[in-house]
Structure 1
Amino acid sequence: MGETALDHGHGGHSHGVSADADRKWLTLALILIVGFMAAEVVVGVIAGSLALITDAGHMLTDAVSIVLALIAIRLAARPARGGYTYGLKRAEILSAQANGITLLLLAAYFVFEGVRRLIEPGEVEGLLVFVTALVGIVVNVAATWCISRANRSSLNVEGAYQHILNDLYAFIATAIAGAVVWLTGFARADAIAALVVAALMVKAGWGLVRASGRIFLEAAPESVDPAAVGAELAEVGAVAEVHDLHIWQITSGEAALSAHVIVADGADCHAIRGELERILLERHHIDHTTLQVDHVCAEDPDQHCVEPHGQSYRGA
């Protein structure tokens, strides 16, 4: 899918673009897409082109993805209250996952139709397909530019961006297919283009499902190695052991960490916690941390955690 928000080590609580700016650019892209999609459906039926109808279906998911992104931005901005102690920040991850699943389901349908058209090709107006696809390329370039101006460190906005970007590639394939049908009469080129579009949809859809699934499963960001972080923290002076280390993402671009840190008897707990927090922020861009710091108990070293979760890390 290319590099997403999950591949970056962004700091936790600030993003470079405001939610208002995101809404403006996403709304502009939505207007462009919906307007052209309506025209493309009509032209696709007239031209008998599965590739154009497939593109229109892809554009429908583009429009839905942007609508979901706009809704999720509004929900995520609501303050935490009641049982939702993180607020509704993961609404954007639900949106991204819905986008990915929709792409996969549509891809399955278009693969079926594409194979059927390869076996029994119909009449296709190649020139009409070619011209429409060229217009589609222009519209998608404009829409892609609009969304690129929004905050792509959000997996939600990234999902909408991936939809539009893949649709741009799809229109290029459709334009080539239209030119082939127009110039050579090879009608199966239209079905081949539809299969290319379906493959692009699978690639983008799986990337979104996988990325959002990692967040729902509380996995660490792909750019962060928990074992390396644990070993690094354990090397700090006076730290005897680090265990119960958990790293997850509240939402895209907002990582969190908790750990139980055991320090030498007589060490300054507050100073050590401050040093660990500095390391996590400066080296790993994690500023949402909860560190429980305790001293080693000489009589019973294991009194703090009878069954610590995960691996334990000890200093050299």
Structure 2
Amino acid sequence: MIQTNHHSFKYILYLLITVISWGIMYPCSKHAVLSGIDGYYLTLLRYGFGAILVSLVLILVEGKQKYKTEGHGGLLWLLGTVGFAGLNFFTFIGIGYSTAEHATIILALMPMLSIMLSSLIERRLPTLKTCLCTLFAFFGIVLVITNGDIKHIATSNRYIGDLLLLIATMCWVIYTYFANQFITKYHWSPLRITALSSSLGAVSIITITLFATYYQLAKVPSLNAINTSLIDIFVLVSTTLVIITWNAGIKGLGAINGTLFVNLVPVISFIIGIYQGHSIFKMEMIGAIMTIAALILNNLVIRQQPNKT
């Protein structure tokens, strides 16, 4: 289990701040989409302002000399494009077809996807127990997505949204893995990697949004839609700062310990959904419990293996 000594407590706090913010973020993004801001412009608003906000924090905390790529501009741009453009476009477009609760359950697959990515890159097969946990978690996700009605999986746009949310989660897994490698290799602070990768990722977000608008895939939101979603936009922009606490927490506790905290996101989102009057069906709840249980079990299995951090 995670040792809760004084040194690790701050990293636990960082990750708790992150997952609570994410749990709030998804209901806000769903409300903004329903209010008339499509996924493209919601992403643009979030990271147009968010990248500026994080960059200002970097300059104030570490100095303007740290706001330099030091020859890693291409890598940081690719990382930011996958992590910020990929995550947010697929999330905000997908959540328009799906629900906030589904989004957070799919996000909870992050630990399993992280293991799969690490195994692929490092060319080592996961254990049989991990494979079984993965299958169990996947079955739980299927129950959440279909509400136990698998035969109708191809008859609703909701499943398209869930697929996009799964792709979004994979984008964030890729970002997390390589951002952590970047921090370890070049000894950059989590704040610096967040600011530079989000700034360069914002360039891709602006470009993609302009092309989508030109080809009528995206629509400039009305002033009424923006006014209706001002609180949602404020929350979404503010939560860009928790990427700093996410990277810091992962750096301090490691990927295995850190990604386990993602299991709290759907719990928070479900509580908010119930408070807002959303109906949570029995099969969705069973699937959510199965998925979270499989993720926790796999984390415990990994801790029993030698030479794992």
TM-score calculated relative to the size of structure 2:
0.33
TM-score calculated relative to the size of structure 1:
0.33
More contact order relative to length (CA 8 Å, sep ≥ 6): 2
Identify, as 1 or 2, the structure richer in helix: 2
Q: Which has the larger radius of gyration?
A: 1
Identify, as 1 or 2, the structure richer in strand: 1
